[in-house]
Amino acid sequence: MSTREEILGIIEKNSRIDVHELSVLLGADELLVANELKSLEDEGIICGYHTMIDWSKTDIEKVNALIEVKVTPQRGLGFDSIAERIYKYPEVTSVYLMSGGFDLMVILEGKTLQEVASFVSNKLSTLETVLSTATHFILKKYKDHGTILAKKYEDTREIVSP
């Protein structure tokens, strides 16, 4: 595996790791690692250093929904221009072009059910190229970004010898 791949492997799981520690774990030169990180950022391969938050454990209410959207692709622009119109809304957290029964998967974050509902009916459905939408609310997140939210790791190894 290249240093680049290894860096990405580690930093994907722990974005707070500093250059020194990264270089220790990889057994690589610190300067080399720093340069590699810099170019990964410059090339847009590393797009950000976000924090995973399990909002359900806080007092802050958040509602997440997945919306399947069918659209009419536009001549010369395909799906890109309609995707752009959708992703510019700040409440939209992700937009994916999909294969299969619908075209765009839009992931939305709102404060309340009503807020999400009104976004769909007032903003999304009214777009000219949108043919139909199907909204699915997320009830509980068990695992997100490879992290199991439902339960915490516990060391249950018993004392054994030899």
User: Given the rule CB under 8 A, which residues bind other proteins?
Assistant: 1, 6, 9-10, 21, 24-27, 153, 155, 157, 159-162
Compute the least distance from the CB of residue 137 to other proteins, in Å.
28
Show Cβ contacts of residue 62 under 8 Å, excluding neighbours closer than 6 positions. 55, 56, 109, 110, 111
CB atoms within 10 A of CB 118: 12
User: How many residues belong to the chain?
Assistant: 162
Compute the least distance from the CB of residue 13 to other proteins, in Å.
10
> What SS3 state is found at 137?
strand
Which is closer to other proteins, CB of 75 or CB of 157?
Answer: 157
Place of tokens 């009419």: 72
Cβ pair 130, 117 in contact under 8 A: no
Compute the least distance from the CB of residue 25 to other proteins, in Å.
4
Closest CA to 18 of 4, 34, 6: 34
Which is closer to other proteins, CB of 60 or CB of 159?
Answer: 159
Which is closer to other proteins, CB of 51 or CB of 161?
Answer: 161
Compute the least distance from the CB of residue 45 to other proteins, in Å.
20
Which is closer to other proteins, CB of 98 or CB of 148?
Answer: 148
